[in-house]
Chain A
């Protein structure tokens, strides 16, 4: 009896302690998402004098005939796929380097995480300048190497603009992947390598037979985080290309933002949010499923 009441008191304290966090959670996450689901059933735009009119699933039906939505979804997929691919590649390289012991490793590590810590919107402006068609340093270097004769437009050409965006994003977020993978590398017991070396394995063989499989969970986790971020990419695109030229770099989040803040098409914007949300949840479920199959007994730094 007494034990029970202690437990009850403990639970009550637990809830009280969580209450402030809970309120913020509801305000910042639960309500906005729930509200988007609800609002997506209404038409609320300039045509309705911004009054909500219940139209059921009409917003979702409209999405099927909306070429711009599919276009932006495609752009987002391309951006996400290539960013993640390159980030993983560079991330592994950087993690392997940072895992070595050498003098000034602390400084190199600091440099290594710097891009991640800088504001994306601000560094997007820096990249815009780097890819400037007249005075940009990329063109200057290419000219210096004799690859091109005159400056080429980067951000004014659909394919090259997408390339520039991906490169800027890779620069910005590879450090994040590298740091996570580094933790994985450091958790690998050294004797594994030693045992293999006695069998005469080369470092490259070791990398594929030991290192890669053992950091697979970290890779999946890092990729999941990055997938969510890349899929919702907004500021980099807004700042560098604004979705142009001709919508060739417009991502879903840009389209959502325009629909709501520019067209004041709130109901439709909400429907777009809901679809994006569902895509994310599915991705999380898939990643979660894969992770549950692997042995995720990862301990962090502590």
Chain B
């Protein structure tokens, strides 16, 4: 294990104190182990549960290393056979993806306007956008419910897509605005001199440069939309249109006094795999987006 030159260890390096180095190593080792166990253990337990036969799930002491005969795919097979679980996944994907696109498509121009075009009251607008980021969903659902009813959007994907896009707009605008502000202004000036109008310049020159930022915010928006619960619970009541979080939470057992932990565990795993993939591929972008969104705000 190499402890390379970082700020913390560089100071020890400047004062040669050999016994200090292993101490540091040990502390770091413990730290890493803590992070990994703390973050992974609950999720892995669920994965393990999802592959165990019922007898191995409901037993004391718990089975940590199941024998081959205690393993099964049944919970997954049931999940896709007894309920339209594939449909739930597709619903989630569709709603989250569309909401993401709308958030980007409406957020990017607004962010540009706030960054470059001197709109009166710009500061107030930015402050409002900022505060709005903080609103919990529960403050909005009553009013949104009426909007959904008034527009006759109940049990329509739009009833989720529009609120999700809206919930993601503030973050999108804040992050993209920062990116736009950091672009060299000369590019736009020269583009204007070459005869581009604002929209053309935006589409042809500015937007391409902000692709990384778009991807970053897009991924955050996708995760938020995938995970949302309260709107999905309220605005969609049709079984075939439910999204993953709600559908999973509503899995019922065939006996009144026990909760079907096997199928629920399988649903947990199957319903979060897309997100795990997103995190695996875009870890850096997520970290960037989170810090840009929060710190810039």
Complex CA–CA separation, A233 to B110 (angstroms): 30
CB distance from B38 to the nearest CB of A (A): 7
CB within 8 Å for A28 and B119 given contacts A18-B110, A96-B31: no
A22 engages B271 (CB within 8 Å): no
B294 engages A33 (CB within 8 Å): no
CB distance from A52 to the nearest CB of B (A): 12
In the complex, which of the residues A130, A176, A270 contacts B42, with contact meaning CB atoms closer than 8 Å? A130
Q: Is A10 an interface residue (CB 8 A)?
A: yes
B245 engages A119 (CB within 8 Å): yes
Complex CA–CA separation, A169 to B202 (angstroms): 41
A33 engages B10 (CB within 8 Å): no
The segment out of B58-66, B67-75, B77-85 that lies at the interface is: B58-66
**Chain A residues near B62 (CB, 8 Å)?**
135, 137, 140
B264 engages A7 (CB within 8 Å): no
Shortest Cβ distance from B286 into A: residue: A113
B138 engages A234 (CB within 8 Å): yes
Q: Is B36 an interface residue (CB 8 A)?
A: yes
**Chain A residues near B179 (CB, 8 Å)?**
302
Shortest Cβ distance from B31 into A: residue: A97
The interface size of chain A toward B, counting residues with CB under 8 Å, comes to 117
Interface mask (B80-105 → A, CB under 8 Å = 1, otherwise 0):
00000000000000000000001001
Interface-centre pick from A27, A235, A261, A300 (highest chain B CB count, 10 A): A300
**Chain B residues near A143 (CB, 8 Å)?**
60-61
Instruction: Give residues of chain B (262-291) contacting chain A, Cβ–Cβ below 8 Å.
Output: 264-265, 267-268, 271-272, 275-276, 278-280, 283, 286-288, 290-291
List residues of A whose CB falls within 8 A of some B CB. 7, 10-11, 13-15, 17-18, 20-22, 24-25, 27-29, 31-36, 39, 90, 93-94, 96-103, 106, 108-115, 117-130, 132, 134-135, 137, 140, 143-144, 151, 171, 174-176, 179-180, 182-184, 188, 190, 193-194, 196-198, 203, 206, 218, 221-222, 224-225, 228-229, 231-235, 238-239, 252-253, 256-257, 260-261, 266, 269-270, 273, 276-277, 280-281, 284, 298-302
List residues of B whose CB falls within 8 A of some A CB. 1-12, 14-15, 28, 31-32, 34-36, 38-40, 42-43, 45-46, 49, 57-62, 102, 105-107, 109-110, 112-114, 117-120, 131-147, 162-163, 165-167, 169, 173, 178-179, 182, 198-199, 202, 223, 226-227, 229-230, 234, 244-246, 248-249, 259, 261, 264-265, 267-268, 271-272, 275-276, 278-280, 283, 286-288, 290-292, 294-297
